[in-house]
Amino acid sequence: MTTWKNSFTPVLHPESNAPWSIEKINTWYSNTAWPIGCNYIPHNAINQLEMWQEETFSPGIIEKELSWAAGLGFNTVRVFLHHLLWEQDSKGFLNRMDEFLAIAHRNGIKTMFVLFDAVWDPFPKIGKQPEPRFLVHNSGWVQCPGYDVLNDAEKYDELRHYVQGVVNYFKADERVLVWDIFNEPDNLNTGSYKDDNYGEHKAGLSMKLLSKAIGWVRAINPIQPLTMAPWQSDWSDADELSAIDHYMFTQADIISFHCYENNKGMEKRILDLKRYGRPLLCTEYMARPFESTFESILPVLQKHNVGGYNWGFVAGKSQTHCAWDSWEKPYEKEPARWFHDIFKPDGQPYCEREVAYISKFNNKNKAKHSLLSHSA
């Protein structure tokens, strides 16, 4: 890892402003354990800001919860960052990221960091975060950057210090698995904030920021591959893709996507995206009411050697065990069938049978790959 002194003076590689070759990324993936894990936030944090700010950063809770993840056989987590944390206290933020990586590493877990996110509250504020709204799914999650920045392209270059400062500090750190540049950049949050009141279409603005951010990261030339997270389109016809989905699929080193459909829907998306010849990561899946369950999805991911990150881990202040429609449909009590998440805050599983299945599946997969590696 680079030293703090060097973190503001990255060595730039302008010749690297292109995706990894298909050969390079496939070699990297073949030398990487099958990535299987979850999107992670500790149960006592309502959003990225509360997770990382000094006053509410909770390494003890993170240690305990990631030990549960390791117990399931998970070897990776996807974790969201925020530029306001860098602007508030860049040195402290990097130190807390480093501490998080140390905890994850002790538990045999590598981390995918997400730099930008277009989903939920478009008006993030540093400092004390709001309390959860009663049984509302992700009632406090915040976008990065917020509306005020995303709606003004002249402010985008101000984000370069955040992107390059974070990536450069961890550019040679093997505890970091992948850099996810932008989560669902064209999501208009129609079920919650309906944030479509921009000077131009949100997808166009996000694409401008995404293209800059990719360049900023590629200029540093980290050892980790880059990805971006499209989420909702029909990808069966390459000629019918939205401009931003086409851009993400052709600019990513390793292709990621989201799918909350059943096993048939998941397999269709995988088969559609195999045409790019690159490894695939499904960085969001698992919504029980949609029959996107561990029992139905894990065998499909394994069959096609696609890495997977279910949404949610420990039910807490983010309340993602509640359904998406809780924004529009009031609930008087917690759902009998959880939407996301696996554990209660005390470590008890939502479903004992489900946890047993995940653990058995992952341990069997590890044993299989161990035999293959030894025979090779």
Token pair of 103, please?
A: 């905890």
Check: CB of residue 207 under 8 Å from CB of residue 244.
Answer: yes
pLDDT, position 344: 98
pLDDT, position 369: 57
Distance (Å, rounded) from C-alpha 44 to C-alpha 349? Answer: 17
Distance (Å, rounded) from C-alpha 276 to C-alpha 256? Answer: 12
pLDDT, position 375: 42
| Neighbouring residues of 353: CB distance < 8 A, sequence distance ≥ 6 | none
Distance (Å, rounded) from C-alpha 285 to C-alpha 153? Answer: 32
Check: CB of residue 254 under 8 Å from CB of residue 229.
Answer: no
| Helix then strand then coil, % of the chain, to nearest 5 | 45, 15, 45
Instruction: Give the largest Cα separation in the chain, rounded.
Output: 59
Token pair of 213, please?
A: 């951010």
Nearest in space to 13 (alpha carbons), one of 182, 171, 248, 205: 171
- Three-state DSSP class for residue 9: coil
Distance (Å, rounded) from C-alpha 301 to C-alpha 224? Answer: 22
Give the helix/strand (H/E) hosting 178.
Answer: strand 176-183
Distance (Å, rounded) from C-alpha 237 to C-alpha 247? Answer: 15
Token pair of 183, please?
A: 């989560």
pLDDT, position 368: 63
Q: How many domains does the chain have?
A: 1
Check: CB of residue 112 under 8 Å from CB of residue 76.
Answer: yes
Structural domain of 320: 5-375
Angle between helix 294-303 and helix 352-375 axes, rounded to 10 deg = 10
- Three-state DSSP class for residue 168: helix
Q: What is the pLDDT along the chain (376 residues), one digit of tens a residue?
A: 333 333 344 445 554 679 999 999 999 999 999 999 999 999 999 999 999 999 999 999 999 999 999 999 999 999 999 999 999 999 999 999 999 999 999 999 999 999 999 999 999 999 999 999 999 999 999 999 999 999 999 999 999 999 999 999 999 999 999 999 999 999 999 999 998 899 889 999 999 999 999 999 999 999 999 999 999 878 999 999 999 999 999 999 999 999 999 999 999 999 999 999 999 999 999 999 999 999 999 999 999 999 999 999 999 999 999 999 999 999 999 999 999 999 999 999 999 999 999 999 999 887 665 544 434 4
Token pair of 37, please?
A: 């894990």
Check: CB of residue 19 under 8 Å from CB of residue 253.
Answer: yes
DSSP 47-109: SHHHHHSTTT--HHHHHHHHHHHHHTT--EEEEE--HHHHHHHHHHHHHHHHHHHHHHHHTT-
pLDDT, position 4: 31
Alpha helix positions (H), the chain: 22-30, 48-52, 59-71, 83-106, 147-150, 160-169, 202-218, 243-251, 263-273, 294-303, 352-375
Q: What is the CATH number of the domain that holds 284?
A: 3.20.20.80
Token pair of 169, please?
A: 């500090």
pLDDT, position 16: 61
pLDDT, position 364: 87
Token pair of 320, please?
A: 């993602």
Nearest in space to 309 (alpha carbons), one of 258, 360, 254, 263: 258
pLDDT, position 196: 87
CB-count burial class (<10 Å; 0-12, 13-18, 19+) for 132? middle
pLDDT, position 6: 34
Nearest in space to 232 (alpha carbons), one of 207, 199, 265, 210: 265
Angle (CA) 239-287-66 rounded to 5° is: 110
